Structure 1
Amino acid sequence: MTTAQLRARYRRIVTFFGVLTAGFIYWELILPKLGLGSLSNRTRAERNRRAAARFRTLAIGMGGLLIKSGQFLSARLDVLPAEITSELSGLQDEVPPAPYDQIKALAEAEFGRPLSEVFASFEAEPLAAASLGQAHRAVLKADDAAETGFADVVVKVQRPSIDKIVETDLAALRRVGQWLTRYKPVSSRVDVPALVEEFATTSLEEIDYLGEARNAEHFREAFAEDELILVPEVAWERTTKRVLTLEDVSAIRIGDYDAITAAGIDRGKVAEKLVASYLQQIFDDGVFHADPHPGNLFVTPLPEPGEFQLTFIDFGMVGRVPEGLRDALREALIAVATQDAPRLVAAFSSLDVLLPTADTKLLELAAAQVFDRFGGMSMGDLREISHEEMMSFGLQFRELMVSMPFQLPENLLMLGRSLAILSGMCTGLDPSFNLWATLAPYTAKLVGDEGGGFSWQTITSEGGKILQTLVALPARADRVLTTVERGELAVRTPILDLRIRRLDRTMNKMTYAVVFAALLLAGALLWTPAPVLAQVLMWGSILPLLAVLLGGRRHPPA
């Protein structure tokens, strides 16, 4: 790709997001200040959907990092509206393949000799083509096959000039990120430059095939003792920074439900094994496969009827979970499995998932009601919940939904995306799949309660929490009784408090708006008989107008 083409690509990306940003400012900032906020609210969902659809079209047409960025954004349920994430969620990294002569030339340049001297055969038709590279089936020469123990391989070759395209796309996205930091509605919700840099780190790792080979080797070692997990072996002698050669482990795609059933395999067990493998990756290994879409997972039938292996491929995107983060995630998992709302909110706080403005008491109330109503349900049961019931729940916690006091920090972004994909995959495999039942034995293991055994670490950790509660209990009871005796007992209702504060702000704005309209109208009526008084009234109307315009700013809770 020439320098002129790269510049044109940069301009096209920046222009697209520039127009999108201008539209956002007009609809979300200017119109509400002019008293047309209701128009903005009514059209928001459809405008967001159309904007996401336009980006989707742009991404498919241009390829490069735009498809990856769309997939990346589709996981940001914490900062993007549902209509945007829904529109982007189906964005598949499938693009027309690069011409074979270009792929062949790049591979031969990497190996330093003709492909006919490297492989016994190499298929010109790609097995799959993505935005950063494409895969071809090949067969190793006899000597290489004898050394590696396998002959059939899949060779992944980068697209020509992809490193320059990635650099250009990242430069454009960084520019857009800097723009968005100037607008408080965006910057108050998410650190856009940090988000772009996280995406940049992941993208640069994906075009380093030596790093991907090391990731594959790590996963192969991690699951070496598990006969039901298969990870392809790397042909290191035929791998470079831009060409990756792996053992061909192709089998039934995990999304081909009919083929899995036809092979006599219980799809529910596949879902259980998938969840169990991720629990091991996250909590035991601290490294997880961060791109578990259906094209990267296979179900390999075994000779025994009904038995299978779960096969992972494509290790370009992996996430890492440091020990401190693992501890907080364990707390969250235990809280979910035991349906302990306060413990879950505390775990969210330690994970930095909650914004400083979050009302933890309201969150605990919402979590408790979610557990009471939906806890223990299978995926199929959850899908059967009526729209009216979900709307009722949403209205009950409307203030919570509007404020959205959540933000996934960068170290949880890939994990959140992976878990969202897994949830949909498990539902597809088995609509009656019950995540609660799958989590129960693993949670018991985490708290040292599996088989009735306790570790010393568990005793000191869990026992310490119980002891703290017991020690504090008499003092708390005494304070409550004293408060009751004094007649000072008060009951907090978080939802009602929030609604009262919001109603109070609305009434204040309405009062100022009425005063503004009255002064303006009086000035217009008196313009001819009393022009001096009319000018005073009209100039005076500016003060209540400013109060209306500035009244849209968020006030801290009382």
Structure 2
Amino acid sequence: MPGGGGHRARYRRILRFAAWHLAETWWFELFLPRLGLARVAERTRVGRMRRFAQRFRVLALDLGGLMIKVGQFLSTRLDVLPPELTKELEGLQDEVPPVPFAAVRALAEAELGAPLAEVFASVEETPIAAASLGQAHRATLRPGDAAATGLARVVLKVQRPGIDAIVDVDLAALRKVGGWLSRFRLVSDRADMPALVEEFAQTSLEEIDYLNEGANADRFAGDFAADDRVDVPAVVWERSTRRVLTLEDVTAIKITDTAALRAAGIDPAQVAPVFASVMFEQLFTTGFFHADPHPGNIFVTPVAGPAAARPWKLTFIDFGMMGEVPDRTRSGLRKLLIAAAARDGEGLVAAIRNVGVLMPSADTVELERAMTHLFARFGGMGFAELREVDPREFRDFAVEFGDVVRSLPFQLPENFLLIIRAMSLTSGVCSSLDERFNLWDSVEPYAAQLLRDERGNIVQDAAQQALDAAGLALGLPKRLNGVLTRIEEGSLAVGSPRLEQQVKRLDRSVRRSASALVFGALLIAGSVVRADDTVLGNVLMIASVVPLLHGLWAGRSGL
């Protein structure tokens, strides 16, 4: 932990806050139920959650730094945290006091090695955005730079002075709290808290390196270079350093400003599915995704002119917090999405296990039944429809399956922290654009395309296996005949007079196995392809009879 009285006081304040609320949680959620006073914990839970959120919000706004980031993450966890907590923390997305411009000017001039007046034609002192780690000001490039870059108006993004030391202190405190949480079995059975803190630390350190953010912006722009739905600001590398970033000014309509969208002739309900689709593309196809897609980081930009293929596009900014989905995890997520779209409870549980959320030792029979029941009753409903469902139905479901879910050994893989954040924010933005928005409407067409891709891969694999098996079936007799010839010529030492008979039996066995493998491969390929191409599927399934008959003949002949 960095030295200094202010830093030590900050460190101790964070730990005192965490220790108090952990002790309070232990008392109410673990100790009192053991004394038979579980109803006391249940009766006070809502009030305690609300008080915790209020106190944490005060702490985060007072301290700034990574505490703001922690609060922002908690505010998006609508899936696991009660609304009393998330609602109270929502304001942390925007409630960050700006740094005085004099301090910003001093840091920027030190980084750029010259007075701002010599680097820019003008810089607005009032920030257009203030975040926990930095803030942004509009500026104008000097004529020479404007001609070289093709840009005139830019945004100058500058780190908060002293943020490096503050981040170090906050990470030291979070590591300590993560160690405390790992001693609670209720937590340690479901997440490796020290590992999650390290993931958060890595993301935070990357976020305060503006050269890394600029590289992320260029990579993201490359991923969507051929997509007319997406735009990304250009980076002015000549005026950027590790703590100062100069970008094209792409300010437009904030994605959740529905009044401004309608005034521009844009239907917010049409923006929601496009935004969801673009986020799916990042998570399930490119594997490189924007992990902080809150409303302040997404603009809707009207596109003028008759040549425009689309009247508007989504403009992403702030690429400091990005995530990558490894190939294996992305494959698991694709299967999960397909299972969810197909309302396949058993497939969904299998996919959850494959991506590492469920430990291999888990007995999933009851969970599969719960997911099947959930899909049967609530699958396909939008948020507006779910709000109309009788709350007693949700309570009945929770009573029936709550113990099952709580007893299973769930865990949170390290790379899921940013994935969950991105999907939580995506859902929130889409719902604010259209309260009737049904995520299934966006998931199903995308999942259908994924399913077609997966089927294509299965057919290719099956065809390759069939060719390999056929090659093996055709090649092995020749090799075995060669062995027999060498035996007959006396060029192979034979230790048993029955070897020739054994080799012939092996030959027949290989022929039967190869035929069975080709039969199975063609049959599976035919059944998969038949869903999309009936003729080709039927041909493959009929063709599978040939190796089946050959296998039966090879098994009977010579016996």
Regarding TM over 0.5, the answer is yes
1:379: which partner in 2? 383
Q: Deviations over 1:337-367 (max 9, x none)?
A: 1111111110000111124574411221121
Within 1, Cα distance between the matches of 2:34 and 2:65? 39
Q: Does 1:342 align with 2:346?
A: yes
Partner AA of 1:130 in structure 2 = A
Q: Does 1:440 align with 2:441?
A: no
1:521: which partner in 2? none
2:370: which partner in 1? 366
Residue correspondence of structure 1 range 267-346 to structure 2 within 5 A: 267-303=268-304, 307-346=311-350
Offset, 1:462: 12
Offset, 1:264: 1.1
Within 1, Cα distance between the matches of 2:463 and 2:167? 48
Offset, 1:94: 3.1
Offset, 1:52: 2.4
Residues 106 and 160 in structure 1, CA contact (< 8 A), matched pair in contact too: yes
2:555: which partner in 1? none
User: Would you say how many aligned residue pairs link Structure 1 and Structure 2?
Assistant: 468
Offset, 1:61: 1.5
Residues 137 and 154 in structure 1, CA contact (< 8 A), matched pair in contact too: yes
| SS at 2:282 equivalent | helix
Offset, 1:272: 1.6
2:216: which partner in 1? 215
Within 1, Cα distance between the matches of 2:332 and 2:72? 26
Report the CA distance shift for 1:363/1:467 in structure 2 as closer, same or farther (over 3 A).
farther
Residues 120 and 140 in structure 1, CA contact (< 8 A), matched pair in contact too: yes
Q: Does 1:425 align with 2:429?
A: yes
Residues 353 and 406 in structure 1, CA contact (< 8 A), matched pair in contact too: yes
Residues 69 and 199 in structure 1, CA contact (< 8 A), matched pair in contact too: no
Partner AA of 1:121 in structure 2 = S
Within 1, Cα distance between the matches of 2:181 and 2:113? 46
The TM-score with structure 1 as length reference comes to: 0.78
Within 1, Cα distance between the matches of 2:427 and 2:368? 24
Between 230-239 and 306-315, report the one with greater CA deviation: 306-315
Report the CA distance shift for 1:394/1:30 in structure 2 as closer, same or farther (over 3 A).
closer
Report the CA distance shift for 1:30/1:337 in structure 2 as closer, same or farther (over 3 A).
closer
Partner AA of 1:179 in structure 2 = W
Report the CA distance shift for 1:363/1:49 in structure 2 as closer, same or farther (over 3 A).
same
Within 1, Cα distance between the matches of 2:80 and 2:271? 32
2:153: which partner in 1? 152
2:92: which partner in 1? 91
Residues 363 and 408 in structure 2, CA contact (< 8 A), matched pair in contact too: no
| SS at 1:448 equivalent | helix
Within 1, Cα distance between the matches of 2:337 and 2:108? 45
Q: Which residue, 376, 400, 405 being the options, matches 2:404?
A: 400
Q: Deviations over 1:176-230 (max 9, x none)?
A: 2222223333333322211211111111111000000000001111111112211
Report the CA distance shift for 1:26/1:405 in structure 2 as closer, same or farther (over 3 A).
same
Between 49-58 and 441-450, report the one with greater CA deviation: 441-450
Report the CA distance shift for 1:45/1:399 in structure 2 as closer, same or farther (over 3 A).
same
Offset, 1:428: 1.5
Partner AA of 1:205 in structure 2 = E
Residue correspondence of structure 1 range 156-195 to structure 2 within 5 A: 156-195=157-196
Offset, 1:377: 2.5
2:233: which partner in 1? 232
Report the CA distance shift for 1:81/1:414 in structure 2 as closer, same or farther (over 3 A).
same
Partner AA of 2:413 in structure 1 = P
1:455: which partner in 2? 456
| SS at 1:124 equivalent | coil
Within 1, Cα distance between the matches of 2:325 and 2:382? 28
Structure 2: gaps (5+ residues) = 466-518, 525-559
Structure 1: gaps (5+ residues) = 472-558
Within 2, Cα distance between the matches of 1:449 and 1:180? 42
Q: Deviations over 1:10-54 (max 9, x none)?
A: 111111112222222333343334443332333233223322221
Within 2, Cα distance between the matches of 1:462 and 1:255? 49
Residues 139 and 151 in structure 1, CA contact (< 8 A), matched pair in contact too: yes
| SS at 2:415 equivalent | helix
Higher-Rg structure is: 2
Residues 78 and 424 in structure 2, CA contact (< 8 A), matched pair in contact too: no
| SS at 2:289 equivalent | strand
| SS at 1:300 equivalent | strand
Residues 353 and 407 in structure 1, CA contact (< 8 A), matched pair in contact too: yes
Identity between Structure 1 and Structure 2 (%): 55
Offset, 1:391: 2.0
Within 2, Cα distance between the matches of 1:50 and 1:430? 31
Report the CA distance shift for 1:195/1:4 in structure 2 as closer, same or farther (over 3 A).
same
Within 2, Cα distance between the matches of 1:449 and 1:30? 52
Offset, 1:393: 2.2
Within 1, Cα distance between the matches of 2:440 and 2:81? 28
Within 2, Cα distance between the matches of 1:357 and 1:46? 37
Offset, 1:418: 1.0
Partner AA of 1:460 in structure 2 = D
Partner AA of 2:412 in structure 1 = L
Q: Which residue, 413, 419, 422 being the options, matches 2:417?
A: 413
2:484: which partner in 1? none
Between 299-308 and 406-415, report the one with greater CA deviation: 299-308
Offset, 1:93: 4.7
Within 1, Cα distance between the matches of 2:94 and 2:462? 45
1:121: which partner in 2? 122
Residues 338 and 447 in structure 2, CA contact (< 8 A), matched pair in contact too: yes
Within 2, Cα distance between the matches of 1:383 and 1:29? 32
Within 2, Cα distance between the matches of 1:173 and 1:207? 18
2:507: which partner in 1? none
Between 194-203 and 23-32, report the one with greater CA deviation: 23-32
Within 1, Cα distance between the matches of 2:192 and 2:346? 28
Residues 231 and 313 in structure 2, CA contact (< 8 A), matched pair in contact too: yes
Between 184-193 and 240-249, report the one with greater CA deviation: 184-193
Partner AA of 1:289 in structure 2 = H
Offset, 1:456: 4.9
Residues 153 and 247 in structure 1, CA contact (< 8 A), matched pair in contact too: yes
Partner AA of 1:311 in structure 2 = T
The TM-score with structure 2 as length reference comes to: 0.78
Offset, 1:160: 0.5
Report the CA distance shift for 1:78/1:388 in structure 2 as closer, same or farther (over 3 A).
closer
Residues 448 and 458 in structure 1, CA contact (< 8 A), matched pair in contact too: no
Partner AA of 1:223 in structure 2 = F
Within 2, Cα distance between the matches of 1:64 and 1:226? 35
Residue correspondence of structure 1 range 125-140 to structure 2 within 5 A: 125-140=126-141
Within 2, Cα distance between the matches of 1:346 and 1:201? 30
